[in-house]
């Protein structure tokens, strides 16, 4: 049976599209994640810390990432004696799966979408709903490891991710009110065609009008991704590596990919919501070439946010768990609510 006969049946278009979409999602997840790791985790941080970073694997250490993946794949797959084997093994897949689902609704160009808006028109709502699934994976990992450090890490993660889900959602609400839609593609269009007091040369990227929301989103995102200064779940000097302590090999790699891929996913969503997504002023919004240029533009904007995430990560020390909760409930959430209120009022006034 050759490949052509697979596509020769009545569902050929369906299969071809499905395979393309799957490959596309995986590429969309791995590409930014890999770039983040190499560009920021390996190189930018090394320069910040007065060292060179990986230099041996490939020119300028560029294939270090493949070496790391190869190393992880070779490692023995260890499950602790008293661990709950099934849950222990499922957990990392749950975390990575969440990230894959997050990417599904991100638009990359006028036609470069995984799911059409008339199939799933509530894009950003879907993202917020799906991204909380990873918490379950993390709690499972922490509980099933049968290790006290993992348990503490898992519980910290649960408390933190739930507390910061709220400011994350509330900050997005401001953008949604201003755009008048939940669909990410339409939010991009709204920013591209928008005007600031009648001046439309730049469009209206919401970073200008929803700056407070972006700030809240960035802080909450940092906490959702468990990056310093909110990295208590994996606090390596306290809890070894938190919920990941007992994982090795492929499963640890999956957690690692999940961490950086979700950094990529959240950056892409921030870029879509606040920086105009795949559109750049001066380009044609509906032209065919935007399907090629669009993903690159989005990747570039994603890198801006990724750079900020990792710059903060390697600049600040870590909060304590109770300080983090206080910050979420007493500062971020009230601020987000005020932002929503102000946006609503101004929306009605103008």
Partner 1 sequence: MTAVTEPTEQDQLAYVAAKAADSRVNVELETDDGMTLNIGPQHPATHGTLRIVAKLDGEQVLWAEPIMGYMHRGYEKLVEVRTYPQVTTLINRIDWLGSFANEVPFILACEELMEIEAPPRAQYIRTVLHEMGRISHLIMGVGDMGVQIGALTPMFYAFRDREYLLNQIEAATGGRFHPNFDRIGGVKDDLPAGWIAETTRIMKTMTAFCDQMDDLLMGNEIFEQRTRGIGVIPPELAQLYGLSGANLRASGIDWDLRRDSDSPMAWKHADFKVITHTDGDSFARTWCRLQEIRESAKIVTQLLDDLPSGPIMAKVPRIIKVPAGEAYVATENPLGEMGYYVVSKGDLGPFRVKIRTASFSNVSIVPWILRGVYVPDIITILGSLYFILGDIDR
Judged by the rule CB under 8 A, the positions of this chain that interact with partner 1 are: 48-51, 148-149, 152, 228-229, 231-232, 235-240, 314-323
> CA nearest 98: which of 216, 224, 185, 220?
224
Q: Write down the least CB distance from residue 162 to partner 1, Å.
A: 16
Q: Write down the least CB distance from residue 55 to partner 1, Å.
A: 16
- How far CA 241 is from CA of 5, 7, 212, in Å, comes to 49, 46, 33
Distance from C-alpha of 3 to C-alpha of 238, rounded to nearest angstrom: 53
Report the residue number, 134 or 147, with the smaller CB distance to partner 1: 147
Q: Are 267 and 103 in contact (CB under 8 A)?
A: no
What separation, in Å, do the N-terminal and C-terminal C-alpha atoms of the chain show?
63
Q: Are 328 and 163 in contact (CB under 8 A)?
A: yes
Report the residue number, 165 or 231, with the smaller CB distance to partner 1: 231
Q: Are 255 and 244 in contact (CB under 8 A)?
A: yes
CB count, 10 Å around CB of 269?
A: 27
Q: Are 67 and 57 in contact (CB under 8 A)?
A: yes
Report the residue number, 125 or 316, with the smaller CB distance to partner 1: 316
Longest dimension (CA), the chain: 67
Report the residue number, 236 or 288, with the smaller CB distance to partner 1: 236
Q: Exposed (0-12), middle (13-18) or buried (19+): which is 31, by Cβ within 10 Å?
A: middle
Q: Write down the least CB distance from residue 320 to partner 1, Å.
A: 5
Q: Write down the least CB distance from residue 325 to partner 1, Å.
A: 11
Q: Write down the least CB distance from residue 147 to partner 1, Å.
A: 10
Report the residue number, 68 or 238, with the smaller CB distance to partner 1: 238
Residue 283 DSSP one-character state:
S
Distance from C-alpha of 124 to C-alpha of 176, rounded to nearest angstrom: 9
| Helical H segments across the chain, by residue range | 3-7, 12-35, 45-48, 64-74, 85-103, 123-131, 133-144, 148-179, 184-193, 211-224, 249-274, 290-313, 321-327, 333-349
Report the residue number, 118 or 237, with the smaller CB distance to partner 1: 237
Report the residue number, 7 or 314, with the smaller CB distance to partner 1: 314
Report the residue number, 94 or 234, with the smaller CB distance to partner 1: 234
Q: Write down the least CB distance from residue 137 to partner 1, Å.
A: 22
Q: Determine the 3-state secondary structure of 334 from DSSP.
A: helix
């Amino acid at each position: 049976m050759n490949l052509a006969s697979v596509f020769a049946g009545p569902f050929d278009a369906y299969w071809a599209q499905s395979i393309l979409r799957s490959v596309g999602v995986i590429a969309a997840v791995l590409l930014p994640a890999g770039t983040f790791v190499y560009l920021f985790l390996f190189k930018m941080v090394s320069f910040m810390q007065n060292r060179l970073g990986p230099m041996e694997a490939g020119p300028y250490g560029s294939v270090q990432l493949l070496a790391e993946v190869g190393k992880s794949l070779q490692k023995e797959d260890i499950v602790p004696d008293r661990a709950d084997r099934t849950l222990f093994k499922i957990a990392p897949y749950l975390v990575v799966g969440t990230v894959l689902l997050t990417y599904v609704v991100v638009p990359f160009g006028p036609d470069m979408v995984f799911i059409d808006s008339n199939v799933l028109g509530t894009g950003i709502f879907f993202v917020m709903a799906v991204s909380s699934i990873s918490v379950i994976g993390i709690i499972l990992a922490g509980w099933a490891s049968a290790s006290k450090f993992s348990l503490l890490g898992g519980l910290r993660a649960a408390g933190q991710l739930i507390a910061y889900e709220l400011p994350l959602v509330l900050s997005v609400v401001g953008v949604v009110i201003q755009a008048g839609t939940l669909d990410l593609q339409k939010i991009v269009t709204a920013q591209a065609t928008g005007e600031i007091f009648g001046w439309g040369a730049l469009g209206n990227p919401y970073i200008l009008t929803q700056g407070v929301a972006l700030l809240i989103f960035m802080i909450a995102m940092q906490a959702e991704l468990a990056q310093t200064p909110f990295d208590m779940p994996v606090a390596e000097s306290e809890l070894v590596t938190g919920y990941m302590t007992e994982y090795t090999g492929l499963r640890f790699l999956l957690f690692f990919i999940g961490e950086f891929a979700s950094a990529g996913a959240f950056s892409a969503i921030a870029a879509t919501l606040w920086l105009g997504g795949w559109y750049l002023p001066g380009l044609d919004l509906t032209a065919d070439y935007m399907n090629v240029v669009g993903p690159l533009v989005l990747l570039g904007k994603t890198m801006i946010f990724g750079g900020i995430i990792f710059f903060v990560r390697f600049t600040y020390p870590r909060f304590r768990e109770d300080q983090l909760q206080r910050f979420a409930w007493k500062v971020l959430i009230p601020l987000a609510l005020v932002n929503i209120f102000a946006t609503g009022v101004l929306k009605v006034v103008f």
